[in-house]
């Protein structure tokens, strides 16, 4: 088998995973974690096999040492948490309580729940391998663009389904169980906040690709070309193929009625507007017939449509703000408990994924008993309480490094600035929403975000070598 065949097969597996990972409840089930791990591992084996007899041609390994060394260290630490031992007296006290209750000797571990720790290790390993493959394939702008389109068009299909289900009052999520929220758009996700993050990432990406396409049409048009002919190009099928998904995806974001999801998406849009005025602007203006085409023109049109959608959904959002405020009081109570937990286990943590197990040992009488409390509703705090402060800081360093590379790529690249821009804006959605929710812990959301971030990183790393590339897409 040729290298190209192996690479195409591996890339196809990645695309299939991108498209179908949200289908079954956002891949938020153990069986799906195993299936997705198998798909990613198969793609990695194909990619590796293609390089046994051929030289490595991806981004320089030296540029990837830091993030993947950090990720490897985190995976190693989770494995250490699972080891049955009382190393340096760091064993979780839950094992002592269990010995008393069961009247038998148990091997202590750092983690309070080995099963949840193993599942977390499985998911994080999937993400690490997936991120590596996305970076390798996204080195080529054409492959990066295809992955972005796969996200946008599949998300559009899920948004259309979600709107139809919301309109019809469908009580089920396809064939996968009852829909617990029939008043907000959740599509194939269980939770509206998870849907909001997924559609928010996809919507900002669609808006950026639309802007890049219009930007290219303006830049490549002849200065003497009639304005009507330029407008005809702007409303062509190529532009419409991105304008439609952009409108649908932003509509889906607002129909979720997720306060944090909508706010984080709009902040990302404002950041994009700021970038449009600076490093991502249309540098060449049309001066014929006194017409000056500004980058803000396109963005204002999209922003106007988004504003109309916001007005349509404003009543529902406003009602939630009046009833519950900006931040639910129960979240603040939960955060106090989480901070107490971090203070009790600052170095070793309670074990990756073991937060719900440890929460049972802390007073939670003020939290509504009818709700299930298996998440900290703040992904940063949950990472710290599970991994401990040192390991969580190493994990956060990977995202800071990735974000900085996208910023560097946006500043240094002369062409295809849309890729680091997508990495920056999608990170804005996730970073803000993760302060009050756990959407990034849903596997479909995490995989889609990894695509956006790693595409931005890969294109930023290859900036020096890709200036003489083939076709420029943005």
For residue 474, name the pLDDT band (cuts at 50, 70, 90): very low
Q: pLDDT by residue (tens digit) across 207-253?
A: 999 988 887 777 766 655 555 555 666 666 678 889 999 999 999 99
Over 60: is that where the pLDDT of 318 sits? no
Confidence (pLDDT) at 473 = 44
Question: How far apart are alpha carbons 392 and 119 in whole angstroms?
Answer: 18
Q: What is the dihedral of CA 402, 403, 407, 409, to 10 degrees?
A: 20
Can you give the residue ranges of every domain in the chain? Answer: 3-461
Question: How far apart are alpha carbons 241 and 199 in whole angstroms?
Answer: 17
* Run of H or E including 253: helix 237-255
Question: How far apart are alpha carbons 86 and 107 in whole angstroms?
Answer: 8
Q: What is the mean pLDDT of the chain?
A: 84
Q: Is 172 helix (H, G, I), strand (E, B) or coil?
A: strand
Point out the least confidently predicted range of 193-197, 230-234, 292-296, 417-421. Answer: 292-296
Q: pLDDT by residue (tens digit) across 439-467?
A: 999 999 999 999 999 999 999 987 655 54
For residue 304, name the pLDDT band (cuts at 50, 70, 90): low
Over 50: is that where the pLDDT of 34 sits? yes
Point out the least confidently predicted range of 104-113, 376-385, 411-420. Answer: 411-420
Over 70: is that where the pLDDT of 189 sits? yes
When pLDDT is averaged across residues 246-271 and rounded to a whole number, the result is: 93
Confidence (pLDDT) at 321 = 44
For residue 15, name the pLDDT band (cuts at 50, 70, 90): very high
Over 70: is that where the pLDDT of 315 sits? no
For residue 308, name the pLDDT band (cuts at 50, 70, 90): low
Over 90: is that where the pLDDT of 122 sits? yes
Confidence (pLDDT) at 471 = 42
Confidence (pLDDT) at 472 = 40
> Residue 451 in contact with residue 444, Cβ under 8 Å?
no
When pLDDT is averaged across residues 383-402 and rounded to a whole number, the result is: 97
The pTM of the full predicted model, rounded to 2 decimals, is 0.88
When pLDDT is averaged across residues 138-160 and rounded to a whole number, the result is: 96
Confidence (pLDDT) at 302 = 58
Point out the least confidently predicted range of 36-50, 179-193, 319-333. Answer: 319-333
Over 50: is that where the pLDDT of 325 sits? no
Q: pLDDT by residue (tens digit) across 42-98?
A: 999 999 998 887 667 777 888 999 999 999 999 999 999 999 887 667 888 888 888
Q: pLDDT by residue (tens digit) across 357-374?
A: 998 888 776 776 666 778
When pLDDT is averaged across residues 377-386 and rounded to a whole number, the result is: 95
Q: In which residue are the tokens 């690490």 written? A: 128
């Amino acid at each position: 088998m040729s290298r190209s065949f192996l690479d195409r097969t591996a890339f196809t597996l990645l695309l299939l995973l991108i498209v179908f990972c949200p289908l079954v409840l956002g891949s938020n089930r153990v069986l799906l974690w195993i299936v997705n791990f198998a798909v990613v591992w198969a793609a990695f084996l194909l990619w590796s096999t293609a390089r046994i007899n051929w030289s490595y041609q991806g981004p320089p390994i030296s540029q990837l040492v830091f993030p993947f060394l950090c990720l490897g260290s985190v995976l190693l630490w989770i494995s250490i948490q699972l080891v049955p031992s009382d190393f340096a007296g760091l064993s979780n006290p839950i094992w002592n309580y269990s010995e008393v209750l069961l009247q038998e000797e148990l091997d202590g571990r750092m983690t309070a729940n080995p099963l949840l720790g193993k599942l977390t290790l499985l998911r994080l390993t999937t993400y690490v391998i997936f991120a590596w493959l996305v970076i390798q394939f996204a080195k080529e702008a054409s492959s990066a663009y295809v992955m972005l389109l796969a996200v946008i068009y599949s998300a559009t299909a899920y948004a259309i389904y979600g709107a139809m289900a919301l309109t019809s009052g469908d009580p089920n999520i396809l064939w996968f169980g009852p829909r617990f929220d029939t008043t907000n758009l959740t599509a194939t996700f269980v939770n509206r906040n998870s849907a909001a993050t997924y559609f928010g990432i996809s919507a900002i990406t669609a808006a950026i690709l639309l802007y890049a396409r219009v930007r290219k049409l303006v830049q490549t048009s002849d200065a003497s070309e009639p304005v009507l002919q330029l407008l005809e190009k702007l409303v062509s099928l190529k532009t419409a193929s991105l304008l439609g998904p952009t409108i649908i995806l932003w509509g889906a974001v607002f129909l979720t009625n997720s306060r944090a999801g909508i706010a984080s998406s709009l902040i990302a849009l404002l950041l994009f507007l700021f970038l449009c005025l600076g490093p991502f602007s249309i540098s060449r203006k049309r001066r014929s017939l006194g017409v000056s085409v500004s980058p803000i023109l396109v963005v204002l049109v999209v922003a106007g449509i988004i504003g109309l959608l916001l007005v349509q959904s404003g009543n529902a959002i406003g009602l939630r703000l009046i009833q519950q405020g900006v931040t639910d009081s129960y979240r603040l109570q939960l955060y106090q408990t989480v901070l107490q937990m971090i203070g009790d286990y600052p170095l070793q943590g309670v074990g990756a994924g073991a937060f719900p197990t440890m929460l049972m040992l802390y007073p939670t009488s003020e939290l509504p008993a009818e709700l299930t409390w298996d998440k900290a509703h703040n992904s940063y705090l949950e990472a710290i309480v599970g991994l401990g402060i040192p390991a969580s800081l190493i994990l956060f360093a990977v995202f800071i490094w990735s974000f900085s590379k996208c910023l560097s790529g946006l500043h240094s690249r002369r062409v295809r600035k849309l890729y680091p821009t997508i990495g920056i804006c999608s990170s804005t959605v996730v970073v803000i929403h993760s302060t009050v929710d756990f959407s990034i812990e849903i596997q479909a959301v995490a995989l889609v975000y990894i695509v956006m971030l790693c595409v931005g990183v890969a294109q930023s790393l290859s900036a020096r070598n890709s200036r003489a590339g083939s076709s420029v897409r943005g």
